[in-house]
A and B are shown apart, each in its own frame.
Chain A
Amino acid sequence: MNESNNNFEELKRLLKLKQHEVPSPGYFNRFSGEVIARVRAGEAGDAQGLIDELRQSSWLAGLLRVFQAKPGVIGGVATSLCLMLLIGVVLADRPDSVPRDLFASSTPAPESASPLVAAVPMVNTSGIAVSTNPVVSLQPVATLFGQQQNPLFQSASFAAPGQ
């Protein structure tokens, strides 16, 4: 044990050589200045750096960097994506959600058939009501042979071909 300790003492003396290894003269005079300069540069570049990175790199890489820098953004984006997906599923399941005017829009209805136009009478400043809609009476009209006929409906007769 004693011999071992003596050897360690020799080793410790040898290790003293490490204490004499020093960097070039003046190194430590510059060191703190370089550290402070890098701290200042880091502070100034923190805000601008993120924007620059997003501009310089592709949008996907930029997005990933933003996610790395601010993990909270991931939660927000994921939540909004889930909401959008949910809304999409709900709308897809509703049959009445299909817009009816898809085909109607290609063949515009005649102006007279529009109920909106018919319901709103055109107002003339002269006090005379003007309407282009025909006046239709829904009352049955007596015919020459005593039959009652609704002018809105006409009976149709079909003859089979060959008869």
Chain B
Amino acid sequence: MIMSEPATIPDANAPAGMLEGDLVRRARRGELQAYDELVKRYQERIYATIYHMTSNHEDANDLAQESFIKAYSALKSFKGGSSFYTWLYRIAVNKTINFLKQRKNKYHISLNDLDFNAEHDPDLVALISDKTPQRDAGLSELQKKLNEALLKLSEPHRMVVVLHDVQGVSHEEIAEIVGCNIGTVRSRLFYARQQLQGYLAEYIKS
């Protein structure tokens, strides 16, 4: 007789099925299982933001872990005025900015590999084939040039580009995360794009 496994029913009390507010409340009481779920929900976005700012996987790994640890220890001071996600982002951003200030211009690039989908992205394929003067330029070279150009920007300008153009965060959310008004976000974004346009002119000629 073959015993079939029972069908998995979503459990509202399990951390994976909980709302963010419930998870935060439980984590504040010291339930690490709840905090583990919060980490899982936001780890990719937090890591990506830091990685795109530093262009270094090891630094991004350390800073992302430290950001989550700092957030856990500071959970009791989280008043709930903003979403946990925004609050967590603010911690990660501040930690990254402080790190970059200490590191100054001692950049050590350690880039992640491109995923399989990059080769099939029509926009990127077009960039390295039709519109690029250096037609034989591969995606890896383009990736390196792009990261070098980003590192030439100041930290506040790089942060706005990363959050908006790479991660798709809205102007309002960026203003809340970075701690400035929306007008400043827009002007920083415009200036940063202009700068990048100049650095990457050979790749984005129409």
A interface, CB within 8 angstroms of B:
6-8, 10-24, 28, 31-36, 38-40, 42
Contacts and interface: CB of A to CB of B under 8 A. Distances in A.
Interface residues of B, number: 46
Given A36-B36, A42-B69, A14 B43 contact: no
Contact of B52 (A8, A18, A23): A18
Contacts of B114: 17, 20-22
A17 B132 CA distance: 15
A18 B113 CA distance: 10
Given A21-B143, A35-B69, A11 B118 contact: no
B104 interface: no
Interface in B37-58: 39-40, 43-44, 47, 51-52, 57
Interface of B: 32, 35-36, 39-40, 43-44, 47, 51-52, 57, 61, 64-65, 68-69, 72-73, 111-115, 117-118, 121, 123-124, 126-127, 131, 139, 142-143, 146, 161-162, 165-166, 193, 196-197, 200, 203-204, 206
Contact of A42 (B73, B111, B124, B139): B73
Nearest to A34: B65
Contact of A36 (B32, B47, B51, B117): B32
A35 to B, nearest CB: 5
27 contacts: A8-B197, A10-B204, A11-B165, A13-B123, A13-B127, A14-B142, A16-B123, A17-B114, A17-B139, A18-B162, A18-B166, A19-B166, A20-B121, A21-B51, A21-B143, A22-B112, A22-B114, A23-B61, A28-B40, A31-B39, A31-B64, A32-B43, A33-B36, A35-B36, A35-B65, A36-B39, A38-B69
